[in-house]
Amino acid sequence: MSKKEKVSHIIQILEDLFPNPPIPLVHKDPYTLLISVLLSAQCTDAMVNRITPLLFKRADNPFDMVKLSIEEIREIIKPCGLSPAKSKAIFNLSHILIDKYNGEVPKTFEALEELPGVGHKTASVVMSQAFGVPAFPVDTHIHRLAIRWRLTNGKNVEQTEKDLKRLTPKDKWNNLHLQIIYFGRAYCPARGHNPEVCPICSIYG
């Protein structure tokens, strides 16, 4: 079986199991998604979804966010971890959105990646999930599964992103990265994984 056939089969398995994967972070617009993704660094989606309602009750747009102090933001988001850096980034990027973009979240990778606290992965999530632009955000979970399924040599997440983009159809990327995340949680965890019962590893492990 060629790698292309293998990838097609893996995509089919993922589509059968998760035909319409929901976006795991609760949000209502590009700004609240951007803040949620920023908070999710080294933090679970479940914890972010517990904290963001408290934050967004105070400020769910950049104009209200800059009325809070960095300390106030930090106090609210503390359970998400890395709160000193994240609170500064949220405050500063909100100022930039107001000054440069009339309070709107920009719709390009370049502009997003220039914002404080926003790396390529965060920008990719916002571009794909807020604006529907094809992107393949690779987090540690997707990286781990791509190595496990031998779709990449696993040097780093950047290489994994390139490999997955090369191997998969562009019109599938936005769903596929979510499908892999949900599949990993349900069938292919980092610990306690049983490859014999995993729907993908039992075939390609």
Amino acid 3 reads K
Exposed e or buried b per residue across 138-156, where buried means at least 16 C-beta atoms within 10 angstroms of its C-beta = bbebbbbbbebbebbeeee
Active site residue 139: yes
> Residue type at 183?
F
- Which one is catalytic: 121, 155, 171, 172? 121
Query: Of 3, 6, 139, 172, which one is the catalytic site residue?
Result: 139
Q: 131: number of CA atoms within 13 Å, CB side?
A: 18
Burial of residue 78 (number of CB atoms within 10 Å: 0-12, 13-18, 19+): middle
Which sequence positions are flagged as catalytic? 121, 139
